[in-house]
């Protein structure tokens, strides 16, 4: 990726990234910028960033649609927004999750969606993926051994592949048959 791009790691936590502005609300993580993401506006000018990554942040915030509007403001036209959030089928497995997300989330940022459904800022969906398991790095802490993790990786590859053949059907019907999905990933392009 081009190192000249202006990049934001939103809600970085302990996962700070080189070449990014790392933003978090906790001083313990020593972010580059400290800001409460429930408070608007964010401390950046309009059209600042070429790329924003937000991994498992939106589900913790009060108003995800307002956050999307703010991210639209600080992204450059054509900028990329990479979001990972819990799928609603497993969205509330963490005590501080306020929201779960569905494959219909991108519709609210599509001008062609219903007038009452369109949220007023436009993002083009470049890619969407469902991930049955997403947190392999946490499995050892939950008591899983190397063989179990290997088997789960194989099962994950199969289930995730099948789910992404028809994401709508998976999200409406069979996500419950496999115990839910850890994550849905959205790759958006900012339209201005």
**CA-to-CA distance for 108 and 72, rounded, in angstroms?**
13
**CA-to-CA distance for 1 and 59, rounded, in angstroms?**
27
* pLDDT given at position 134: 92
* pLDDT given at position 96: 74
The rounded mean pLDDT for the chain is 92
| Tens of pLDDT, residues 54-110 | 999 999 899 999 999 999 999 999 999 999 999 888 766 677 777 889 999 999 999
**CA-to-CA distance for 85 and 99, rounded, in angstroms?**
9
Q: Which of 76, 58, 59 is nearest to 67 (CA)?
A: 58
Q: Sheet of 7-10: strands edge to edge?
A: 33-34, 21-24, 7-10, 49-55, 75-85, 183-191, 122-131
Token pair for 3:
């190192």
Fold classification of 7-191 (topology level): Rossmann fold (3.40.50)
Question: What is this structure's pTM?
Answer: 0.90
40 confidence band (pLDDT: 50, 70, 90): very high
Between the alpha carbon of residue 38 and those of residues 3, 21, 102, 131, 185, the distances in Å are 29, 18, 21, 27, 22
**CA-to-CA distance for 67 and 83, rounded, in angstroms?**
12
21 beta partners: 8
| Tens of pLDDT, residues 154-183 | 999 999 999 999 999 999 888 888 988 999
């Amino acid at each position: 990726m081009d190192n000249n791009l202006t990049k934001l790691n939103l809600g970085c936590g302990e996962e700070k990234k080189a070449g990014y502005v790392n933003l978090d609300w906790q001083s313990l993580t020593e972010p580059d910028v400290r800001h409460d993401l429930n408070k608007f506006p964010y401390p950046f000018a309009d059209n600042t960033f070429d790329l924003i990554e937000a991994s498992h942040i939106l589900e913790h915030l009060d108003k995800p649609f307002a956050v999307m509007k703010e991210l639209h403001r600080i992204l450059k036209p054509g900028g990329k927004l990479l979001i990972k959030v819990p799928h609603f089928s497993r969205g509330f497995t963490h005590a501080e999750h306020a929201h779960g997300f569905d494959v219909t989330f991108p519709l609210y940022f599509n001008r062609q969606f219903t007038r009452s459904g369109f949220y007023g800022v436009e993002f083009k969906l470049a890619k969407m993926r469902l991930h049955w398991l997403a947190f392999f790095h946490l499995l050892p802490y939950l008591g899983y051994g190397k063989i179990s993790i290997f088997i789960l990786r194989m099962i994950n590859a199969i289930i995730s592949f099948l789910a992404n053949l028809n994401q709508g059907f998976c999200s409406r019907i069979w996500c419950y048959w496999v115990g839910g999905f850890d994550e849905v990933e959205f790759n958006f392009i900012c339209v201005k």
